[in-house]
Structure 1
Amino acid sequence: MKFDGLILDVDGTIWNTTSIVAKAWNIAIEKNFPSVKRVTAEILKGQFGKTMDLIADNLFPELSREQKDYLIQRCADEEQKALLENEEDIAYPSARKTIEEISKKIPVFIVSNCQSGYIEVVIEKNRLENFISDFECFGNTGLEKSENINLVIRRNNLKSPVYVGDTQGDFEACEQSKIPFIWASYGFGKVDQNRCFKTISNFGELKNIIL
C-alpha cells in the first residue's frame, strides 16, 4: 500500500517514560493525597493509552470526581517538569532517525490520549520539530482517539494514512476511523496481530513498510 501520512502514538511507540513518570506522579500523590496508593512503572504501562480521566478513575477510585481531576492534573504537572529535566535518552532505538527519514517522503503526525502540552514535550525532547507536521490529543479536544485521528486526517486532507500504536485501544480507534493499524509489539499492550495490517518488533522496521 502507498500511504500519504504516518500517524504515531507516543507512549509505548516512540518512547518509554514510565519509570520517570511513576516517580513524578508519586511526588504529586504525596503532596496532595498521601493516603492514595503509589504507582509503579508497571502499573502505568497498563494505563498509558487511556484518556487521563479514565486513568484517574482507575488509579484513584477512592477520590471524588473533583479530587481525581485535581490530582491527575498535579501528576501531569510533575510529569512535565520531570521529563523536561530528564537528560536520559528514553526513545526506542532508531525512533528519531526513522521518523526523520520517513518525513522526507510523507508527512508524519502524532495523535495521543495524553494531556495538553505533552506532545510538545515529546517533540522537544526527541528533537522532532522539523519532522512532525501536525498533532492532536485528548487534552486539547476532549475527544476519543478515533475522533482526534479523524481531525488530523481532515485537517491535512489525507486519503491513505496509517497509524502506529501499541495497545488494543489504538487498534480499536483505527477500526473506528477505518484506517490500517500497525502494531508496535515492543510496547505496552497486547493486540491480535492477525487483525493488524502489520506488526513491528522495533521502530526501525517502519521504513520497510512505509518507504
Structure 2
Amino acid sequence: MEMNKKYDGLIFDLDGTMWNSTKPIVEAWNIILGKHPEIKRELIVEEDLTDCMGKTMYTIAAMLFPKEEEAVRNALMDELCLFENEYLEEVGGVLYPKLEETLKELSKEYPLYIVSNCQDGYIEAFLKAHKLAYLFKDTECWGRTFVTKGETNKILIKRNNLKNPVYIGDTQGDKQSAVDAGIDFIFASYGFGNVDEYNYKIEKFEDLTDIL
C-alpha cells in the first residue's frame, strides 16, 4: 500500500511498540497475588501476559482468572493495576532500542501521541519512569474512555483537531483500531503480534525516521 506522508500526527501504541514491561508487570502481579490465597491459580509467568497483550484489563482478568466470578476478578484486576502503575513508575520497563532518539527526531516534524488499551495511570508510569513526557502532546486510554481502541483513537483525534494522523502498533487489534478510526496503520513487526494488512511495516523502532 502507498505511504501517505502528509501526516499531521503520530499516534503510538505502548506495549510491544515502545516498550516491553512484561517482566516488571509479572513481578508486581505476583506480589499482589501473594496477598490473596483465596485466588486459586499458579503464579503468573511472562507467557501468560504475552497472550493478553493489546486486550482491555477486564478481558485480561477473564483470561487469567477464569474460575473467579466477574465481580471478584475485576476487583482483583483493579488492585493489580493500581499497584502495577506504582511499581512501573519506580522500576520502568525495557525500552526498544533508540526509542528516545527516534521520538526526539520525529517530534521535530510531527506532534506525538499515545493511545493504549491500558488502565488509567499506566501511560503516565511509562512517561515518568523513563522521563519521556516532554515528547508527547496528549495521551488516551481504555481506563479513561472504557470504549474500543478505535473509539479511543477517535476521541484523541477529535480533541487535537487532527485531520490525517497515523497509528503505529504491533497487534491485529491495533490495526483494527486504525481501520475503525479511518486512519493509516504502521505495523511494528518486532512486537507481540501479527497483522494481516498495513500501510507500512517497521522491523525496528528507528525505521520510523526512514519512512516518515
TM-score range, shorter chain: over 0.9
Amino acid at match of 1:198: Y
Give 1:42's aligned amino acid.
Answer: E
Q: Aligned to 1:37, which of 38, 42, 61?
A: 42
TM-score by length of 2: 0.93
- Give the aligned residue type for 1:205: D
2:130 is the alignment partner of 1:126: yes
Of 75, 79, 95, the residue aligned with 1:74 is 79
> Contact 1:167 / 1:189 at 8 angstroms: preserved in 2?
yes
- Per-residue displacement from partner, 1:26-78 (whole Å, max 9, x unpaired)? 11122124422322112211102100010011111111111111111121122
Q: How does 1:64-143 map to 2 (within 5 A)?
A: 64-86=69-91, 90-143=94-147
Counterpart contact for 1:136–1:148, Cα < 8 Å: yes
1:4 aligns with 2:8: yes
Judge conservation of contact 1:27–1:78 (CA < 8 Å) in 2: no
Residue 177 (1) aligns with residue 181 (2)? yes
Contact conserved, 2:168 with 2:188, CA < 8 A, in 1? Answer: yes
- Tell whether 2:49 aligns with 1:47: no
Number of residue pairs aligned between Structure 1 and Structure 2: 207
SS at match of 1:130: helix
1: CA distance, partners of 2:204 / 2:58: 30
C-alpha distance in 2 between matches for 1:158 and 1:209: 20
Tell me what 2:207 maps to: 205
Which runs of no fewer than 5 residues in structure 1 stay unpaired? Answer: none
Q: Is 1:21 aligned with 2:25?
A: yes
Written as runs of structure 1 = structure 2, the 5 A alignment for 1:134-173 is: 134-173=138-177
Q: Quick one: distance in 2 between partners of 1:37 and 1:190?
A: 28
The answer (yes or no) to whether the contact 1:8–1:109 under 8 Å persists in 2 is yes
Of 44, 63, 74, the match for 2:68: 63
Cα offset for 1:95? 0.9
Q: Is the 8 Å Cα contact of residues 49 and 167 (structure 1) preserved in structure 2?
A: yes
What letter corresponds to residue 199 of structure 1 in structure 2?
A: K
Deviation at 1:164, TM superposition (A): 0.5
Give the distance between the partners of 1:154 and 1:85, measured in 2 at CA.
Answer: 33
What's the TM-score, normalizing by structure 1? Answer: 0.94
Counterpart Cα distance in 1 of 2:39 and 2:62: 17
- Superposed CA deviations along residues 63-106 of structure 1, whole A, max 9, x for unmatched, are 1111111111121122122212216x610001111111111111
Asked if the contact 1:16–1:90 (Cα under 8 Å) also holds between the matched residues in 2, the reply is: yes
Root-mean-square deviation (CA), in Å?
1.3
Q: Residue type matched to 1:75 in 2?
A: L
Q: Give the match's secondary structure for 1:31.
A: coil
For the Cα contact (< 8 Å) 2:89–2:126, is it kept in 1?
no
Structure 1 consecutive aligned stretches of length 4 or more whose deviation exceeds 6 Å: none
CA distance in 1, matches of 2:172, 2:135: 27
